[in-house]
């Protein structure tokens, strides 16, 4: 059994984990995340708290609803920076109506990439 993955999907997966292939060379380079200018950046425990809350609600709540349900108070600008980062990393998607959908499934990615018959074209 051969699994074919298009280059578009492969590039999307690679860019979601922060890696992008150069067109002129075979080397990989890291694509950096550049948040807007903030007085304070989120701490790791705050990021994990928001991530767990988003994972718990999957896709049935809006940004504001989840923000109000957080166990600790978080400034709105810090919260939106965390959402921007999680969307950049491919873990969530924010819809036009501000509903947050959880996308990341590390088990599926590892299962697909661990397949020895995986062919990249």
| φ, ψ of residue 50 in degrees (nearest 5) | -65, -40
Buried b / exposed e across 90-114, counting CB within 10 Å, b at 16+?
bbbebeeeebbebebeeeeeeeeee
* Residue 73: Cβ-neighbour burial (10 angstroms; 0-12, 13-18, 19+): exposed
CA distance 4 to 10: 10
**pLDDT at residue 66, rounded to an integer:** 93
- Asked whether residue 100 is domain-assigned, the answer is yes
Can you tell me the mean pLDDT for 103-115?
A: 78
Domain assignment present for 35 = no
CATH number for the domain including 82? Answer: 1.10.10.10
Domains identified in the chain, total number? 1
Tokens of 92: 């969530």
- Give the tens place of pLDDT for each residue, 19-72: 444 444 445 555 566 766 677 788 999 999 999 999 888 878 899 999 999 999
* Position 54 in a domain: yes
pLDDT class for 114, splitting at 50, 70, 90? Answer: confident
What pLDDT, on a 0 to 100 scale, did the predictor assign at position 60? 80
Using a cut of 0.75, tell me whether the model's pTM lies above it: no
């Amino acid at each position: 059994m051969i699994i074919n993955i298009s280059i578009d999907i492969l590039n999307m997966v690679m860019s979601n984990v922060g890696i992008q292939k150069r067109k002129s060379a075979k080397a990989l380079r890291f694509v950096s995340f550049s948040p807007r200018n903030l007085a304070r950046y989120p701490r790791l425990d705050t990021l994990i708290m928001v991530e767990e809350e988003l994972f718990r609600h999957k896709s049935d709540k809006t940004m504001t609803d989840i923000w109000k349900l957080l166990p600790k108070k978080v400034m709105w600008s810090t919260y939106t920076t965390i959402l921007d980062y999680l969307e950049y990393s491919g873990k969530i998607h924010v819809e036009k109506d501000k509903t947050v959908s959880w996308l990341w499934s590390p088990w599926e990615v590892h299962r697909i990439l661990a397949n020895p018959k995986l062919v990249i074209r």
